[in-house]
Amino acid sequence: MGEPSPAQRVADTALGVAGAAAPVVGAVARRGWRTASKIWSVAARPPLVPERWTLGHFTDQAEIRGRAMREQASIDLAETSTRLGDALVPLVAHQVLSRLETIDLSQVRLDPTQLEQALDVVVPFTVEATLSRLDPLVLIENHIRLEQIEKLLDAHLADVLALTLSQLDLTAIVRENVDLVGLTNDVVDQVDLAGITQNVIDEIDLQAIIRESTSGIAGDVVNGTRASAATADEFIASFFGRRRPNPPGATV
Amino acid sequence: MNRTNPDEPLTVNQLHGKPAGVVTRTLAGAIDYAVAAILLGSSYLGLAALQFLWNPVRFSWPVWPIATWLVLGFVYLVAYLWLAWATNGKTLGGVLMGTRVVSISGKRLGPVRALLRAAFCTAFPIGLFACAATPRSRSVQDIVLLTKVVYHYRNATVQIERLPD
């Protein structure tokens, strides 16, 4: 380290003096500030002086006016910045696009990892933003025709349903998700079983069926007994070595 | 209806109006005896019921001597057969077995002959079996009183077995 220059020495001296005087100056300044504040509090709004003529009133008005000017300046600055942006962005964009057109994209090498990361960020955001702006009803009204839907359903609905049902275990689904007992009870509650039974009985005329079947059975028994007895009569007659003088079946 | 084909199976309809055989008549007679027995039993129970209603405390089942049973049974059976033969010619046994009692000319019996036949059949039931051996299937009562018993079917189409000649 060499000998300091005179200027360096002057600066060091001044710095040393300032360092030694700083505490004293600070203490004097604090005391002076407190004193000035007390003096200002009295001088700003002295007793017996109307408020409108006090110094504090003037300073307050000046503060309010200054704040308004600052806010207006901020607004003006924002508007100016906007106008400036509106004027500059097209120019910049035009310049950027004009330079992009000159770039040979085939020569651009994309890092797959970076591209994937970029897509992970951009694609969800883009899709969400797109979907949030879509109105399904408007899309259907503008782009889908019912005739096309009908043709599509006519052509493929049966196959789609068959394929879907073949992939489903409907029995298991019903068992797991349907309260069969409750459903059965509801159905039974809704159905007038007594009325249906009465209608069925009325329709089939059960009494007539029972009457006919009973009489039919009795008639079969009687006819069977008669036939058996007549056969036995024939046998007895032949046993005694005679035939009937009027053979059966001659005349009824 | 004439039966020209001997191989044609017999039906009870084809026997209609022909003399009834001994088996058919015996079954019909058995049914008639059962009817008379039911009437007799009903009379006994009816009399017992009247006695019970008249004096329940001192009720006891009536005791009928065997002669009473026989006489009452005879009377009931004769009355039952008489009424049936004199009116329709058919007792309940006749209705079920398809037989009818008529005169030798095929007419309904008069009340006197029906009564005589009823009494004769009741007193001498074994005379029925003569019809098994007589040419026209006539019982003793039929021979004496000039009656006959014929098959009398209606709308029966049951086929019966035709015995070989």
With a cut of 50, say whether residue A247 has pLDDT above it: no
In 3-state terms chain A splits into helix, strand, coil percentages (rounded to 5) of 85, 0, 15
Supply A182's token pair.
Answer: 């409750």
Could you tell me which of B17, B7, B32 has the C-alpha nearest to residue B136? Answer: B17
How many angstroms separate the CA atoms of A41 and A52, rounded?
16
Residue A5 Rama label (left phi>0; alpha psi -120 to 50; beta): beta
Q: In which band, very low, low, confident or very high, does the pLDDT at B142 lie, cut at 50, 70 and 90?
A: very high
List of chain B residues whose C-beta atoms are within 8 Å of the C-beta of residue A243: 165
List of chain A residues whose C-beta atoms are within 8 Å of the C-beta of residue B153: 226
Most trustworthy range by pLDDT among A142-151, A163-172, B151-160: A163-172
Please give the pLDDT value at position A131.
84
With a cut of 50, say whether residue A172 has pLDDT above it: yes
B19 forms beta bridges with: B150
Please give the pLDDT value at position B147.
93
Q: Are strands B10-11 and B159-160 parallel, antiparallel or unpaired?
A: antiparallel
Cβ of B37 under 8 Å from any chain A Cβ?
no
With a cut of 80, say whether residue A33 has pLDDT above it: yes
Distance to chain B for A215, nearest Cα, Å: 13
Work out the average pLDDT over A168-189.
87
Distance to chain B for A206, nearest Cα, Å: 25
Among B residues 113-152, those touching chain A with beta carbons less than 8 Å apart: 132-133, 135-137, 151
Question: Is B2 in contact with A247 (Cβ distance < 8 A)?
Answer: no
Please give the pLDDT value at position B140.
93
Please give the pLDDT value at position B4.
43
Most trustworthy range by pLDDT among A9-13, A176-180, A215-219: A9-13
Q: How crowded is residue B73: how many other Cβ atoms within 10 Å of its Cβ?
A: 18
* Predicted-complex ipTM score: 0.77
Could you tell me which of B37, B128, B27 has the C-alpha nearest to residue A222? Answer: B27
Question: Is B158 in contact with A244 (Cβ distance < 8 A)?
Answer: no
Please give the pLDDT value at position B146.
93
Cβ of B66 under 8 Å from any chain A Cβ?
no
Q: In which band, very low, low, confident or very high, does the pLDDT at B28 lie, cut at 50, 70 and 90?
A: very high
Please give the pLDDT value at position B48.
95
Q: Which residues lie closer than 8 Å to B82 by C-beta, 6 or more apart? A: B111, B114, B115, B118
Instruction: Provide the residue count of chain B.
Output: 165
Work out the average pLDDT over A68-80.
93
E strands, A5-45, in order: none
Work out the average pLDDT over A201-216.
78
Please give the pLDDT value at position A69.
94
Q: How crowded is residue A241: how many other Cβ atoms within 10 Å of its Cβ?
A: 7
Question: Is B19 in contact with A248 (Cβ distance < 8 A)?
Answer: no
E strands, chain B, in order: 10-11, 99-103, 147-151, 159-160
Question: Is B18 in contact with A226 (Cβ distance < 8 A)?
Answer: no
Cβ atoms B10, B158 nearer than 8 A: no
Question: Is A226 in contact with B24 (Cβ distance < 8 A)?
Answer: yes
Question: Is A245 in contact with B96 (Cβ distance < 8 A)?
Answer: no
Work out the average pLDDT over A2-20.
88
With a cut of 60, say whether residue A1 has pLDDT above it: no
Cβ atoms A45, A54 nearer than 8 A: yes
Model confidence pLDDT, tens digit, residues B58-115: 999 999 999 999 999 999 999 999 999 999 899 999 999 999 999 998 889 999 999 9
- Going from the C-alpha of A243 to that of each of A38, B4, B9, B120, the distances in angstroms are 166, 17, 17, 28
Please give the pLDDT value at position B143.
93
Choose among A223, A240, A249: nearest Cβ to B158: A223
Q: In which band, very low, low, confident or very high, does the pLDDT at A197 lie, cut at 50, 70 and 90?
A: confident
List of chain B residues whose C-beta atoms are within 8 Å of the C-beta of residue A237: 21, 132, 137
Supply A138's token pair.
Answer: 């408007």
Could you tell me which of B3, B5, B18 has the C-alpha nearest to residue A226? Answer: B18
Cβ of A217 under 8 Å from any chain B Cβ?
no
Please give the pLDDT value at position A251.
33
Question: Is B18 in contact with A240 (Cβ distance < 8 A)?
Answer: no
Please give the pLDDT value at position B12.
58
Measure the N-to-C terminal CA separation of chain B; round to a whole number of Å. 21
With a cut of 90, say whether residue B13 has pLDDT above it: no
Long-range contacts of A203-207 (CB under 8 A, 24+ apart): none
- Best of B92, B104, B163 to disrupt the A interface (most A CBs within 10 Å) is B163
Q: In which band, very low, low, confident or very high, does the pLDDT at B9 lie, cut at 50, 70 and 90?
A: low
Q: In which band, very low, low, confident or very high, does the pLDDT at A140 lie, cut at 50, 70 and 90?
A: confident
B159 forms beta bridges with: B11
In one-letter notation, the amino acid at residue B42 is S
With a cut of 70, say whether residue A249 has pLDDT above it: no
How many angstroms separate the CA atoms of A250 and B1, rounded?
7
Work out the average pLDDT over A161-176.
87
With a cut of 90, say whether residue A244 has pLDDT above it: no
